[in-house]
Structure 1
Amino acid sequence: MSDHPRAPRDRLNRREKEFIRIVRSLPRPYPDPAIEWQLKLYSLLTRTKRRLDRLPIAALLSNEHLRWLRVVRGADLNVDEAEPVDLEARFFMPAPRNPLKCFLEMYSNGFLGWAMPDYCAMNGWELFDERVLPVLRVLRYYHAVINAVEKSYPDVGTNPYWFPAGFRKFNPTGLQRSTDYFWIQDFYHYRSPDVSGPDPAVPHSIVSLVDTSIDVPDDHILKSELLMGILCMRHILALRHWPGHYTLPLLILSYHDTRGRIIQMHCENGKLHIRMSRHLDLSVPKCPQDVTQIPRDGLIMTKWFLSKPIGNTAFFSPPHKDSQEEDGRQKRTHQEPGTSWPLAIPKEEHDGNAAQNQQ
């Protein structure tokens, strides 16, 4: 693209060199193709970020921008069907159950929202523009249900499938105005029934992102959405919890204004791939306790926050006991990455999903 600045040369800074030095110093057989591949992924994400840094802060990225960034935009992510037919890679499936019960239990206890100005004052944030209050109220409304579903867990959080791994606020302009900054509300790793902390067999992660700086057309992606995805994927690589996986899928739940959308990101064949859903209406009912007023798209967003990781992401996956048909042909099924079903998903839920996949 002629109107874009020339891409910077691929030079590693001191921090990146230190990361590579530490990874290569780990005890392992040499050469280790898995480690070398993850180092290439880290370099790929770094080069993409450097190109992205040359664009304006509140940039809307079109398909032409994505081609210049060497990012592949796949087919639209179908979030309306429980079992969509996909020809492209999918690494998350929405929760099979209806979250209306969770809403009803949460708001029948007297939840009326929160005092956003008081919360901002408590955290040292200045709120100059009250037009952003509906956005933050939407975020709180849906996340309150997400973080209160089902039973509590002894380690951290109450979500039965994902546990919070961090909170971070990003302010690209250096100001504290709510219309100028975006932030990651929560960063989640998969919670295995058999493993405390991140499951080494499931590298999937979920991020919720708020950006109140600009309106987003359906056919564009915000710079902040792509930037946060790249930063989170580099962070996941640097954690070194998942050395045996060729890709680390990321699901971004993005909120702008009273709308939102779902974005899937992963690396494949040496390129960054993204898939985006349509925009979802996330308005809050006038009476928060009346769950019948919750928009259908709000339930879709909640189901996707309670989604299940699917797809094989491991370099070497052990064969599944049902992976072969009677005639010897391989069966296409949703398998947990790098493991058999019982390790990553409770058996009673696997049985139901397997029956659907066989149809």
Structure 2
Amino acid sequence: MTPSPTTTPDAELVEATARRVVAEHPPTSTPLPELMGAWYDAGLTWVHFPVGLGGLEASRALQPLANRVMREAGGPEPRTVNTIGYGIVAGTIRRYADREFAARRLRPLATGEEKWCQLFSEPGAGSDLAGLATRAVRDGDGWRVNGQKVWNSLAHLSRWAILLARTDPDVPKHKGLTYFVVDMQSPGITVRPLRQITGRAAFNEVFLDDVFIPDSQRFGEVGEGWIVANSTLGDERTSLGDRVAARGSGVIADALALWAAHPERHDPVLRDRLVRLWVRAETQRLTGDRARVAASKGVAGAESAIIKLLNSELAQAVYEFCLELLGPEGTLIDTYSLDAPDDESGPTAIQRKYLRSRATTLEGGTSEIMRNVIGERFLKLPQELRADKGIAWKDIPR
């Protein structure tokens, strides 16, 4: 039974609700949209969300408990059903959309029937996101958008996107941005895949040519898109770092399994490296617990940037260790094509994960940007010199 909005669910109630859902909808035999729809209706998709919008108004710290019940019953890790939708978009919808819009969009997002992508970065605006050039101009009861986005994961599969565009070039770059939701089936949108180092094409470049977006699909006030975007980026950092649920799981599990499979390659130096990596992984896991607690009290703070930084650099260190342990075998890969298996499968999965890990210190904000965020916003260190500070975007040399 779903609790009333005045009830604060505890761990026992969340677990009991999750067990009831998987008993009534066995994950191994229930179609995924039906299973995740029942999960959403029971308030287990985001337990900290409002009742009726996929939540129970519980503590966010209880989400791993519900997800564990799903996994143990043979179901998916819920966030993998719609990675960007769950971890990046849903929180922004909850904070900035009216209830009617949220109710229409959150359930199909949760079931995976409507995938989402993020249209933020551009060829000339990645780390300096506020320098983006995509323009949105008023047109009656909506906006006309023209520009190009890049590094857009899953855009080729998505029905909806979150979009940051420039609505006022006459003010400093951070003040002239507005945040929109765009239907990826709108006329004027072209999606082109980009081949990754792994051979696959999971992200894309997106061209917007005179795309119309109704003003009802604007989040926040005109010109305040940077504020909305920062809440989204905080969720993204938390999502990228919040992927280790148990001791010894995550990327370190690959290193431990590979070590166990190759006793003939053991030596004291590699053993010492593995122990140090395990300690880093455990530190990351504990920091992730702190991040979840902080996020349960509001928008993610310093912990989200810290855990994202730790997670991305640990992944690279772990797979570098794995390739060294494999020796010459680490240079082999089974196939290099757009039809290559996902990173989690195949006879050369470790090699693919090594290649994929090269992106972890770039996606969701580079490690350099994460260090700036931590230093400037949370440690209150002096800001880096910015030559374009206070200058209208149109007057910044490009």
**More contact order relative to length (CA 8 Å, sep ≥ 6):** 1
TM-score, normalising length: structure 2: 0.25
Structure with max Cα Rg: 2
Q: Hey, which of these two has a bigger chunk of helix by percent? A: 2
